[in-house]
């Protein structure tokens, strides 16, 4: 037993929380200054108190491997977003709200890896896989820093289309939500240099979708379903959206109409969604909701008939015995159908008898049951909306990752094609250079020969010039002598 206890204690000591010697900052500006002084990066944890004090802290931040990996490389910063804000300073609340908008944080917890200037190069928010999954992602995402910096360095040496390519390569590895905030300057330059870049077009669509999600989320959170319908109609009327975006707006309207029980308008909206793109997943979802609405209409029509058929008539006075000796009603009530068939009328005195009215206790009991059922349905609707919004977020994240992979694949294809063209051009130029070498060698030989001939002729010219000089001297002497002879 003592040996067992000793083993347990030894294991506990080996796996004890490594958080004790890790300092967590709460002031972002102070953390940036510290990171610059210590030449470290920033590790930002955007989390709610539940995530910070619970599973995230217990499974990741108190893990020994976490302390080993971040202690010498990162300054740790926690940015808390609790439901009860009474324990957080007002300055920190304002700072955290501004940073959540700047870093485009949509879910908690989210981890951001940044340089000392606070410019992010990686994010992690899928923390459901436990420590193994987290540390694998962490090691992989840290490589983004070198990829980003190398691409920006290459962009600094290039111009035009080449610069746009390097900028896109750098911006593709940073968190997408920061392209229009922290990396706004670089993104705007990319958009100016190449407005048709894959990253530009996908980011524009993502920004539009997020703006729509935020606006309609406010409508649904505030239970302003009329406002949601009106906003959807105004957006559709502008005719600026197409495809999935248009379907999403119509889907918001469909949900609002269903909550408002405007089933006819909801069915028309289903038809509009299918008209945009019949084979899309949104169209199929809308079609299923339309079938549900149709079935509800059928049930509403049938329900009164079923209730009337199953309803037992009020007891009537007995007039005697039947053949079997049992009591028999003095008259039988028959509910008329559409054909209004003629039936035997009950006696006049029975017509005057009124059905027994329900008592007060029954009414109160029924009212309480209805109210309880209504609350249950409302809670289910709220839960469905929350699940729907979470699904939308996961779908958006999946689509963003798919777009990134497709963009990366397309860029690799373009790069491969350009490399083939470069290789072909180099081979062609190489062969041409060999031919040019032969031509230049022949031309050089001819020029060397001409130069040699020129030098040989130059020697002859020099000799002739010397002879001419001597002849000019002799002529001068002869002239002087002739002059002398004339005088004498």
Residue 303 lies inside a defined structural domain of this protein: yes
pLDDT value of position 28: 96
Most confident residue range from 123-127, 159-163, 198-202: 159-163
Distance CA 199, CA 303 (A): 55
* Tokens, residue 383: 């839960």
| Each residue's pLDDT tens digit, 465-477 | 888 888 988 888 8
CB 138 within 8 A of CB 67: no
Query: Same structural domain for residues 218 and 115?
Result: no
Mean pLDDT of 45-68: 79
Q: How many domains does the chain have?
A: 3
257-261, 300-304, 457-461 — which is least confidently predicted? 300-304
CATH number at residue 87: 3.40.30.10
Distance CA 33, CA 11 (A): 39
* Tokens, residue 156: 């600094």
Query: Same structural domain for residues 135 and 36?
Result: yes
Mean pLDDT of 48-63: 73
Mean pLDDT of 240-269: 85
Please report the sign of the dihedral spanned by the C-alpha atoms of residue 105, residue 106, residue 107, residue 113: negative
CB 74 within 8 A of CB 22: no
Q: How many CB atoms lie within 10 A of CB 47?
A: 24
Closest by CA position to 59, among listed 93, 89, 19, 99? 19
Query: Same structural domain for residues 130 and 216?
Result: no
Residue 151 lies inside a defined structural domain of this protein: no
Domain membership of residue 270 as a residue range: 205-309
Domain boundary among 142, 157, 181: 142
Residue 169 lies inside a defined structural domain of this protein: no
Residue 330 lies inside a defined structural domain of this protein: no
Mean pLDDT of 35-48: 93
pLDDT value of position 206: 66
Mean pLDDT of 474-486: 86
pLDDT band at 313 (very low <50, low <70, confident <90, very high): very low
Query: Same structural domain for residues 26 and 129?
Result: yes
pLDDT value of position 121: 96
pLDDT band at 117 (very low <50, low <70, confident <90, very high): very high
Residue 335 lies inside a defined structural domain of this protein: no
* Tokens, residue 454: 């020129």
Place of tokens 């001419």: 468
Query: Same structural domain for residues 23 and 136?
Result: yes
Residue 184 lies inside a defined structural domain of this protein: no
Q: How many CB atoms lie within 10 A of CB 45?
A: 22
3-state secondary structure of 358: coil
pLDDT value of position 205: 63
| Greater pLDDT, 347 or 390 | 390
Residue 264 lies inside a defined structural domain of this protein: yes
Domain boundary among 274, 291, 309: 309
Distance CA 140, CA 256 (A): 43
- Give the long-range contacts of residues 177-183, CB within 8 A, separation 24 or more: 177/103, 177/104, 177/105, 177/106, 178/102, 178/103, 178/104, 178/120, 179/203, 180/207, 181/101, 181/102, 181/103, 181/104, 182/102, 182/103, 182/118, 182/119, 182/120, 183/119
Residue 250 lies inside a defined structural domain of this protein: yes
Query: Same structural domain for residues 210 and 130?
Result: no
Q: What global pTM score does this model have?
A: 0.48
Domain boundary among 142, 162, 187: 142
Query: Same structural domain for residues 38 and 125?
Result: yes
Query: Same structural domain for residues 132 and 229?
Result: no
CATH number at residue 259: 1.25.40.10
Angle of the 225-238 helix axis to the 243-259 helix axis, nearest 10: 150
């Amino acid at each position: 037993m003592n040996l067992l206890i000793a083993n347990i204690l030894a294991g506990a000591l080996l796996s004890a929380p490594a958080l004790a010697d890790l300092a967590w900052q709460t002031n972002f500006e102070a953390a940036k200054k510290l990171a610059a002084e210590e030449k470290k990066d920033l590790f930002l944890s955007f989390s709610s108190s539940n995530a910070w004090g619970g599973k995230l802290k217990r499974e990741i931040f108190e893990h020994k491997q976490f302390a080993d990996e971040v202690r010498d490389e990162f300054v740790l910063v926690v940015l808390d977003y609790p439901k009860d804000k009474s324990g957080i300073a007002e300055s920190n609340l304002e700072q955290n709200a501004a940073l959540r908008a700047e870093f485009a944080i949509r879910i908690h917890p989210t981890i951001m890896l940044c340089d000392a200037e606070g410019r992010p190069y990686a994010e992690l928010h899928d923390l459901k896989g436990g420590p193994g999954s987290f540390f694998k992602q962490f090691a992989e995402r840290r490589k983004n820093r070198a990829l980003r910096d190398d691409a920006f360095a290459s962009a600094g040496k290039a111009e035009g289309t080449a610069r746009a390519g390097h900028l896109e390569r750098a911006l593709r590895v940073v968190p997408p939500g920061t392209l229009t905030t922290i990396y706004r300057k670089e993104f705007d330059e990319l958009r100016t240099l190449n407005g048709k870049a894959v990253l530009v077009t996908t980011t524009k669509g993502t920004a539009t979708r997020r703006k729509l999600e935020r606006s309609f989320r406010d409508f649904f959170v505030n239970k302003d379903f009329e406002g949601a319908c009106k906003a959807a109609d105004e957006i559709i009327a502008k005719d600026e959206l197409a495809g999935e975006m248009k379907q999403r707006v119509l889907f918001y309207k469909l949900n609002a109409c269903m909550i408002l029980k405007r089933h006819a308008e909801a069915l028309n909206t289903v038809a509009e969604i299918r008209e945009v793109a019949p084979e899309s997943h949104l169209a199929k979802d809308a079609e299923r909701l339309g079938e549900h609405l149709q079935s509800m209409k059928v049930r509403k029509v049938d329900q009164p008939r079923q209730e009337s058929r199953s309803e037992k008539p009020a007891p009537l006075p007995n007039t005697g015995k039947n053949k079997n000796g049992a009591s028999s009603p003095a008259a039988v009530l028959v509910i008329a159908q559409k054909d209004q068939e003629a039936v035997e009328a009950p006696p006049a005195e029975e017509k005057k008898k009124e059905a027994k009215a329900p008592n007060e206790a029954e009414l109160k009991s029924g009212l309480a049951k209805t109210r309880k059922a209504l609350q249950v349905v409302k809670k289910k609707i709220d839960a469905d909306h929350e699940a729907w919004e979470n699904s939308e977020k996961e779908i958006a994240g999946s689509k963003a990752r798919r777009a990134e992979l497709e963009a990366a694949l397309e860029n690799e294809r373009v790069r491969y094609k350009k490399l083939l063209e470069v290789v072909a051009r180099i081979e062609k130029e190489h062969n041409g250079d060999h031919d040019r070498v032969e031509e230049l060698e022949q031309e050089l030989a001819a020029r060397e020969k001409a130069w040699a001939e020129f030098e040989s002729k130059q020697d002859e010219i020099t000799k002739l010039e010397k002879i001419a000089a001597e002849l000019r001297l002799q002529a001068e002497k002869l002239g002087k002598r002739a002059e002398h002879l004339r005088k004498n």
